[in-house]
Amino acid sequence: MMNSISNFPSEEGKTTFKVFTPPVSSQGSRSKKDTLTEKLRNTTKSIPILLTGDVSIEILWFVNEVERYESDKTADVDNILKPILDALCGPEGILINDCQVQHVVSSWVDRYDEMEHIEISISYEPDAWFEKESIVFVQLENALCMPLAKNLEPECLKISLDIFEMQLQSRNRIFERGGTYYQARSVMSIQRLFHRTRVGGFEVKKIEELRQNLNNA
């Protein structure tokens, strides 16, 4: 049993859904983590978009109170975070990488007569997303990557690449003149960058390769 995610992304920038499976401790077995990942991604893989901004996540675990108080079989609430966050990331998830998580809360309540499950609430910028089928990461300098919609018209893609390079060049000039990160950040896109190591599993193209492909098209 599971809940599908509807009305996503919402205009309010918050989405809540349930997954009817127990959480797994970060010290749990690989097979248990894989089962959790499969359950979560059965919910998220049909969503056509990926969030590309920073997010806040709240995890509420519905579990039997007796098990929490009178046994040592259930995981600690802090230990269930990493497996859930990992399962939410990647091409079949809802996030690019858990480096997007700015704030996270984990708690539990008695499930009473309900099945054991986890409820996940994600708060986000309503406009900070890309379609899964079109997203590609453009690798710029120093292994920095920017998401781009590869289904744009060729001329629009060229313009986007020009803007990416211009922004980085302007940022570097500010650094060279002693400017701070925050001063240099003002000339960059509102869309955050990702390090190359954070976008595993996604299509990544070096900017020179994309330019060559566009010129040869």
Spans of all domains in the chain? 14-129, 134-216
> In the structure encoding, which two tokens stand for residue 96, read together?
């690019």
Provide the mean pLDDT of the chain.
93
> Is the model's pLDDT at 97 over the cut of 60?
yes
What does the pLDDT look like over 27-37, one tens digit per residue? 989 999 999 99
14-129: CATH number: 3.30.1330.70
Runs of H (alpha helix) within the chain? 30-44, 65-70, 81-87, 154-176, 181-185, 207-216
Asked whether the predicted pLDDT for residue 3 surpasses 70, the reply is: no
pLDDT at position 4, please?
Answer: 65
pLDDT, tens digit, for every residue of 76-93?
Answer: 888 999 999 999 999 999
pLDDT at 112: 87
CB-CB contact of 2 with 118 (8 Å): no
Residue found under tokens 């983590």: 33
Q: Which residues of 197-213 are buried (b: 16+ CB within 10 A; e: fewer)?
A: ebbeebebbebeebbee
